[in-house]
Structure 1
């Protein structure tokens, strides 16, 4: 594969195209400055304005959220896996029907495999613009998002209505629900009662892993972070490995499904049969199935990356499902 072919499968951090109207809380004060990015796959955006950088099916989706300080993403639920790692900044994740069942704060490099069937939200609690990278299960990312009822009601007061077709309509732009489309129904109290409210101890202990802990154990071989035998034992439809300078190798390997390389620290040189490229933190590279490749740090200093590959498992559920 030529370097030009592979360059088309690399999304550079500086080339990311944000969508500022991706979800129903786009006008709600406190959430109206967030930027959403769909990097690989169709994503879960409710807006036709969302730009998809690479539309090749991988068995999972890659996305990102960028937010200034004190900006939050409202409480929502997914039917499939949602995994975040912090690229820049400091982030508070919270969960539960009202967002008060538990919370945790993640620093750069930390990873959170959020269980399915759980209301979750997050906010930038750092002092500068922050970015979190996301892996979503399945090619269709679970068919959309389920919002906590209060999020839909708040959004209506600020001009946004979500149709039962999963699309947003903005009264500030003169839009209204088309004929035959009704407002998305709110979850009933009976439906809400089936959604767990796990404690912080349950979630943090089972589904959060800290960057420096992973660095310490990735001193010889890459660490399987999420997988059937991973640090987080789960089968969300993909596996996530963590690789550092100490565990990287220039020995080429391949996969029978497309894989993705996502540096979090340092610069990485990726070699394949036909060329090479250098990745920086925030870049995302899709490697075709069957292509022999390797990745090693290209400069001195701290270096770590996440590697994602589909497993063919159904995309969820986790133990809270």
Structure 2
């Protein structure tokens, strides 16, 4: 594969195209400055303005959220796995229908495998613009977002209506629901009662892993972060490995499915049969199936990278960590 062909499969951090109208809370004070990025796959954006950088199916979606300080993402739920790692900034994740059931603070490199069937939200509590990278299970990411009822009601007060077809309509622009399209119904009390609400101990013990702890584990080969035998023991339709200078190898290898390389620290030189490229934190590289390649740090200093590949498991969390 030529360098030009591979460059088309690399989304550079500086080339990311944000969308500020991706979701129903785009006008809601406190959430109206967030930027949504869809890097690989269609994601779950509710807006036609969302740019998709790489449309090739991978068995999962890659996205990102960028937010200035004190900006939050409203409480929502997904039908498939949602995994975040912190690229920059300091972030508070919270859960429960009202966001008051528990919280965890995450920093650079930390990873959170958020369980399905819980309401979750997050906010940048740092002092600078921050970015979190996301992996969503399935090629269609479960068909969209399920919002907490108060989020839909708040959005309507600020001019945005979500149709039952999953599309947004902005009354401030004179848009109305098309004929035959009803508003997205609010979850009933019976439906809300079926939403999980784990304790903080369950979340911290089962779903969160700290960057420095993974660095400490990386001396004897790649750290299986999420997988059947991972330090987060789960089967969400993909696996995630953690690489550092200590466990990176120049040995060429390949996979039978497309894989994704996502640096979080340092610069990484990726070589393949036909060329090479250097990745920096925030870059995302899609490696085609059956292409022999390797990835190693290209400069001295701290270096860490997440590697994602689909599995044949269903695109949703099938196990619960206790």
TM-score by length of 2: 0.99
What is the CA-CA distance between 1:166 and the residue it aligns to?
0.2
- Contact map agreement 2:3 2:274 (CA 8 A) in 1: yes
- Contact map agreement 1:261 1:285 (CA 8 A) in 2: yes
> Superposed, which structure 2 residues align to 1:240-251 within 5 Å?
240-251=240-251
What is the CA-CA distance between 1:278 and the residue it aligns to?
0.2
C-alpha separation between the residues in 2 aligned to 1:123 and 1:219? 33
What is the CA-CA distance between 1:114 and the residue it aligns to?
0.1
- Contact map agreement 1:270 1:295 (CA 8 A) in 2: yes
Post-superposition CA distance 1:234-273 (Å, at most 9, x none): 0000000000001000001100000000000000000000
Residue 300 of structure 1 aligns with which residue?
A: 300
C-alpha separation between the residues in 2 aligned to 1:166 and 1:99? 23
- Give yes or no for the alignment of 1:23 onto 2:19: no
Residue 195 of structure 1 aligns with which residue?
A: 195
C-alpha separation between the residues in 1 aligned to 2:231 and 2:12? 29
Say which SS state the counterpart of residue 63 (structure 1) adopts. strand
- Contact map agreement 1:115 1:319 (CA 8 A) in 2: no
Residue 215 of structure 1 aligns with which residue?
A: 215
> Superposed, which structure 2 residues align to 1:92-241 within 5 Å?
92-241=92-241
C-alpha separation between the residues in 2 aligned to 1:319 and 1:305? 25
C-alpha separation between the residues in 2 aligned to 1:148 and 1:126? 25
Number of equivalent positions: 321
C-alpha separation between the residues in 1 aligned to 2:279 and 2:231? 26
Structure 2 stretches lacking a partner, 5+ long: none
What is the CA-CA distance between 1:317 and the residue it aligns to?
2.8
- Contact map agreement 1:91 1:122 (CA 8 A) in 2: yes
- Contact map agreement 1:196 1:320 (CA 8 A) in 2: no
What is the CA-CA distance between 1:320 and the residue it aligns to?
5.1
Structure 1 stretches of at least 4 aligned residues deviating more than 3 Å after TM superposition: 318-321
C-alpha separation between the residues in 2 aligned to 1:82 and 1:58? 15
Deviates further, 311-320 or 155-164: 311-320
C-alpha separation between the residues in 1 aligned to 2:71 and 2:301? 32
What is the CA-CA distance between 1:174 and the residue it aligns to?
1.1
What is the CA-CA distance between 1:38 and the residue it aligns to?
0.1
In structure 2, relative to structure 1, the CA distance for the partners of 1:128 and 1:229 (3 Å cut) is same
Post-superposition CA distance 1:44-81 (Å, at most 9, x none): 00000000000000000000000000000000000000
- Contact map agreement 2:234 2:320 (CA 8 A) in 1: no
C-alpha separation between the residues in 1 aligned to 2:59 and 2:198? 28
TM-score by length of 1: 0.99
Residue 43 of structure 2 aligns with which residue?
A: 43
